[in-house]
Amino acid sequence: MGNRIANLKCFLDAAVEKYNRPSFIKNDPVSVPHLFTKKQDIEIAGFFAAIFAWGNRTAIINKCKELLQLMDNAPHQFIRQHEEKDLKRLEHFRHRTFQAADLFYFIEFLQQHYSRNESLGNAFSGGISKKDKTVEKGLNAFRKYFFIFPHEKRTEKHIASPETGSSCKRINMFLRWMVRQDNKGVDFGLWKNIIPAQLICPIDLHVARVARQLGILKRKQTDWQAATELTDFLRTLDRHDPVKYDFALFNLGIQEQF
């Protein structure tokens, strides 16, 4: 490891240490699944929090809480046991381009999945082998699996996949929450069938800007290729847990206007 890379690792490790701590949770969408202790509630709340995660973070958190209240703050029970009349209260729910028709399909998918599976993790890990370098195959398989039931075409835009060229920022963030495990209290580490080394760093405009300024991302488009290029570099800093640097890159962009 050259001096420049060693210095960069020290800088980013210090930023990870600064931001990967419980104080980070309150103002981030990860606070939504932290409202729960039951595994399936954490998964469902985290899934919606990730899907809604574009725009202002306070608005995202508030919208998630609104939805969860409509589900009696027991999302797994609501998903599994709701009746047709219970869906009436959701008819007017909106978050930006995510509308009631999308929500009803998400609920149908989750109901069908949880009727046969103990964890949402199975929906992702089924397409991944421990030999795979990344979660790419799992994300492509998840999107196909997610849309196996009749649905409106418009709903497809809410689930990204590498096959479409998307950076998959929100799904990769959700996987970080569910897969990474350390003693810091932010990420949950609930899923063991995917390993942290396979994760791809969530990349948005803030992360991409910081990465380019640091010289660790060359690609101009913020897409799947950029996400994998960035993660490949982060593996040179920590091959077992490259995505921990999401804490550094995201917060350098947001908190410190890097």
Residues 6+ positions from 141 with CB-CB distance below 8 Å: 124, 126, 127, 128
pLDDT number for residue 254: 81
Lookup: tokens for 74: 């027991």
**pLDDT, tens only, 202-239:** 999 899 999 999 999 999 999 999 999 999 999 999 99
Q: Is the pLDDT of residue 132 over 80?
A: yes
Give yes or no for a contact between 111 and 80, defined as CB atoms under 8 angstroms apart.
yes
The pTM for the full model equals 0.95
CA distances from 257 to 85, 206, 210 (A): 47, 9, 9
Which pLDDT does position 4 carry in this prediction?
86
3-state helix, strand, coil in the chain (%, to 5): 60, 0, 40
In a 3-state reduction of DSSP, which class is residue 58? helix
Q: What is the pLDDT of residue 256?
A: 63
Mean per-residue pLDDT of the chain: 95
